Structure 1
Amino acid sequence: MQKSDYFIKGILESDEKVVAKIYNLFFPKVLSFVYRNNGQREDAEDVFQKALLQISARIKLRKLEVINTSFEAYLFTACKNLWRRELNKKQKRVTNDEVKELVSEESDMAYALLDQERWELFRDKLEQLSDNCKEVLNLFLKKVSYDQIVKKLGYTSETVARQRVFKCKAKLIEMIKADKRFRNLK
């Protein structure tokens, strides 16, 4: 049994030993991320718990069979997405002086699950691109300057690098839109 399967089975069966192991192994990284992004320990604990619930719900509802990355990477991505969502909600509450109705917990979880599925579709299609497109888009997404992309990949000019980024993005969008999951995630 792969480690991912071990953790998934433990979550599904509410195995206290496995859940405790998940906390011991993976919570420190999430805690560090939340601290670095204006959060407290309680925030990290909430996010971690929500991510585990989200994974559990996803497994039960959608029959999540294979995690293409490690369980740790999958869980961490879910936590990052949930924390960013929390930060965005807090920012909206602060920037809008009026009191707004808060989204229910169930609705919030549904949106978080949808975000996670969109992220997985994006990652799946990104992995299907050519190695050059993957490298170009990864540099672009990391906000590496076109000048640096030219030097790193040996292109002749920034115009060539821009065209390559454009073509790779277009191919990625085309692949995502062609996937049957896309219609359900719109």
Structure 2
Amino acid sequence: MAKKIHSDQRYLIGLVNNDTVVINEIYKNCSGKIKSWINFNNGSDDDAADIFQEGLMDVYRQAKYKSLELTCPFEPFILLICKRKWLNEIKKRAILPVTNNEDDLLHIGEDTFANADYLESQEQQSQLFLKVFEKLGERCKEIITWSMRGEAQEKVAETLGVTYGYLRKKKSECMASLIMMVKANKIEE
């Protein structure tokens, strides 16, 4: 049975044809999420821009030279590619063996589409997290944001002008509030 081509195939066509409207739409819809994910996973804004650009180039090459046909939404697909690229980059920087080469990253199989579906559900969870996060007090948002950057907690405490003990206690309280609010929102839905 032939697989049904997803309507997001238009993004691949737009990339191949260098359609600036479609390419701008891709950047608008996807780059921020990739940037957030890479920042959350110890990367910089420059890292995110590089990974996103590399991911788009890989998709472009697959679409142009290997007739890639999209059977899932484009956004979770590009997020998956960039996520795998970033994880490989982290491994390279840690001087660990890289598990995937470029062809492995773009091997289109059922597991790729299952991963795309998984990423879509992760995206929904992220949206819920962000919605709830915005309801927290300013100090809690500040502490959680700084703590998620991956820096040593002592340095975070110093940056925020608080003691290490206070930071740990307050962070724990803020995370407990956040988790409680997320659970309450999931029940409401």
Unaligned runs of 5+ in 2: 1-6, 35-46, 63-68, 92-97, 101-108
Deviation at 1:43, TM superposition (A): 2.8
Q: Which residue of 1 aligns with 2:42?
A: none
Q: Which residue of 2 aligns with 1:83?
A: 82
- Equivalent of 1:150 in 143, 151, 157: 157
Residue 94 in 1 paired to residue 124 in 2?
A: no
- Equivalent of 1:33 in 45, 48, 53: 48
The 8 Å contact of residues 128 and 182 in structure 2, kept in 1 or not, is answered as yes
Alpha carbons of 1:136 and 1:114: their partners in 2 closer, same or farther (altered >3 Å)?
same
Residue 180 in 1 paired to residue 182 in 2?
A: no
Deviation at 1:83, TM superposition (A): 1.8
Q: Which residue of 1 aligns with 2:170?
A: 164
- Give per-residue Cα distances to partners, 1:101-128, cap 9 Å, x unaligned: x544432321121111111111111111
Which whole-Å CA distance do the structure 1 matches of 2:185 and 2:143 have between them?
22
Structure 1 residue runs of 4 or more that deviate by more than 6 Å after TM superposition? none
The 8 Å contact of residues 55 and 85 in structure 2, kept in 1 or not, is answered as no
Which whole-Å CA distance do the structure 2 matches of 1:181 and 1:82 have between them?
32
Alpha carbons of 1:108 and 1:40: their partners in 2 closer, same or farther (altered >3 Å)?
closer
Q: Which residue of 1 aligns with 2:43?
A: none
Q: What letter corresponds to residue 99 of structure 2 in structure 1?
A: V
Deviation at 1:37, TM superposition (A): 8.1
The 8 Å contact of residues 157 and 164 in structure 2, kept in 1 or not, is answered as yes
Which whole-Å CA distance do the structure 1 matches of 2:187 and 2:54 have between them?
33
Unaligned runs of 5+ in 1: 1-10, 58-77, 96-101
Higher relative contact order (CA 8 A, sep 6+): 2
Which whole-Å CA distance do the structure 2 matches of 1:142 and 1:125 have between them?
19
- Give per-residue Cα distances to partners, 1:138-162, cap 9 Å, x unaligned: 000012333333333332x211111
Q: How many residues align?
A: 137
Which whole-Å CA distance do the structure 1 matches of 2:122 and 2:79 have between them?
11
Alpha carbons of 1:35 and 1:165: their partners in 2 closer, same or farther (altered >3 Å)?
same
TM-score by structure 2 length? 0.52
Equivalent position SS for 2:150: coil
The 8 Å contact of residues 136 and 178 in structure 2, kept in 1 or not, is answered as yes
- Equivalent of 2:141 in 134, 138, 163: 134
Alpha carbons of 1:130 and 1:163: their partners in 2 closer, same or farther (altered >3 Å)?
same
Which whole-Å CA distance do the structure 2 matches of 1:38 and 1:23 have between them?
11
Return 165-174 or 104-113, whichever deviates more.
104-113
The 8 Å contact of residues 34 and 40 in structure 1, kept in 2 or not, is answered as no
User: Larger helix proportion, structure 1 or 2?
Assistant: 1
Q: Which residue of 2 aligns with 1:73?
A: none
Which whole-Å CA distance do the structure 2 matches of 1:88 and 1:181 have between them?
33
Task: Give the fraction of aligned pairs with identical amino acids, expressed as a percent.
Answer: 16
Alpha carbons of 1:79 and 1:127: their partners in 2 closer, same or farther (altered >3 Å)?
farther
